[in-house]
Amino acid sequence: MNEQYIILYANCIPVKGQSKSAIYDLQRNKIIDIPNDLYDFTHFFDTHNVSELYELGGAENYETVHEYIQFLIEEEVAFLVDKGQQKLFPTLDMIWDYPSQITNMILEISDLTFPVLNKIIEGIISLGCEHLYIRIRMEDPIEVLRTILHLLETAPVYSIVFEVELGVHQKIKNYETLIDNNNRVDTLFLLTNEIKKTNSKKIIFSTPKDFITRKERFFRVNISLFTEAQRHNVYFNRKLYIDKEGTIKNAPETKETFGKITDVSNDELYDIIKSPSFQKYWEINKDLITECKTCEYRYMCIDNRLPVLRENRTYSFETECKIKAVHTIED
Ligand code: SF4
């Protein structure tokens, strides 16, 4: 008789999908694919001790129950406790909030936006935006990148991702030197059709064509994203986009425009962001979207398609999901 109870670590959260499920390990930032039967099995952990779990499965499922329990313990997503000790391990609080109106921003650097970079950075600082995605489409992108890093040196920005089209004669080494020792640069996507090599862990090469479905762009497992995804669309929520013309939008994919960054003060920018039309997509989370609500990746997916409201008051997309089919999740 084993009268102990199996419990999942609070940071290991099972999510059911249509044909399979996943356990999100929010501390180790990884995801483990599991069969739906194992997901259903976890629902008995609160009420049945280990012996009772075997009884529940019956003699014909003895091996499966054994495999499931072993698997969860070996993967370090579950552990055994004595009766009455479960309450010592509370579940995670799923409330998400953030102390700033904008958490992430996409900025396109062009001949028009580069000269007003100082003003844009002022706006970034006043909004408390900590994560930047900067797309550079200019002659001599490496010099532009260098200038941006210099201007951001004292800004309270936590992470920066760059997307740059690599010029034909540019050396990778120059990029490595610039970004490898800069702790705030998270990733540099270098778009090129040539085959290139790098020793840098921060540089990811892609052809412009393949870039659209790269896993690094769409899947992130962490507690902040998981909790935000419970009630928000994590792609559109608290995002600001400034395009190459300086036009203010929620995201590249949204149609509504809100003037030019060169024409608005920081106070006016704040009012724009607070408006319901700017925040139109922020709360359309994946649980409200027909195609996504049965997908096990719905709390880690930063899919950027625009949800469309249908007559039956549900949301769906106008194009098919390409991300799920392309990626095998486990690293
Ligand atoms: S966009 Fe695709 S991968 Fe993402 S949650 Fe929806 S169905 Fe899943």
For residues 10-35, give the mean pLDDT: 96
Q: What's the CA gap between 183 and 65, in Å, rounded?
A: 46
3-class secondary-structure state, position 164:
strand
CA of 313 to the centre of ligand 1 (A): 19
Of ligand 1's listed atoms, the one at least distance from the Cα of 286 is: 5
Predicted confidence at residue 272, as pLDDT, reads 97
3-class secondary-structure state, position 138:
coil
Of ligand 1's listed atoms, the one at least distance from the Cα of 218 is: 4
Q: Is the CB of residue 321 below 6 angstroms from any atom belonging to ligand 1?
A: yes
CB 12 within 8 A of CB 24: yes
The tens digit of pLDDT for each residue in 113-165 reads: 999 999 999 999 999 999 999 999 888 899 999 999 999 998 999 999 999 98
Q: Is the CB of residue 301 below 6 angstroms from any atom belonging to ligand 1?
A: yes
The tens digit of pLDDT for each residue in 263-310 reads: 999 999 999 999 999 999 999 999 999 999 999 999 999 999 999 999
Q: Is the CB of residue 217 below 6 angstroms from any atom belonging to ligand 1?
A: no
On the question of pLDDT at 215 being above 70, the answer is no
Predicted confidence at residue 247, as pLDDT, reads 97
3-class secondary-structure state, position 324:
helix
Residues in the chain: 331
CA of 131 to the centre of ligand 1 (A): 23
Residue 43's CB is within 10 A of a number of other CB atoms, namely 10
Q: Whose CA is nearest to atom 2 of ligand 1?
A: 321
Residue ranges of the chain assigned to CATH 3.90.930? 5-88
Predicted confidence at residue 329, as pLDDT, reads 45
The tens digit of pLDDT for each residue in 221-242 reads: 999 999 999 999 999 999 999 9
Which tokens go with 256?
A: 């509504």
Q: Percent of the chain scored above 70 by pLDDT?
A: 95
Of ligand 1's listed atoms, the one at least distance from the Cα of 317 is: 1
Q: Whose CA is nearest to atom 3 of ligand 1?
A: 324
Predicted confidence at residue 51, as pLDDT, reads 96
Predicted confidence at residue 213, as pLDDT, reads 62
Q: Is the CB of residue 135 below 6 angstroms from any atom belonging to ligand 1?
A: no
Tell me the fold of 5-88. Answer: Outer Surface Protein A; domain 3 (3.90.930)
What is the pTM (predicted TM-score) of this model? Answer: 0.89
On the question of pLDDT at 184 being above 50, the answer is yes
The tens digit of pLDDT for each residue in 37-51 reads: 999 999 999 999 999
Q: Whose CA is nearest to atom 7 of ligand 1?
A: 292
Q: Whose CA is nearest to atom 5 of ligand 1?
A: 298
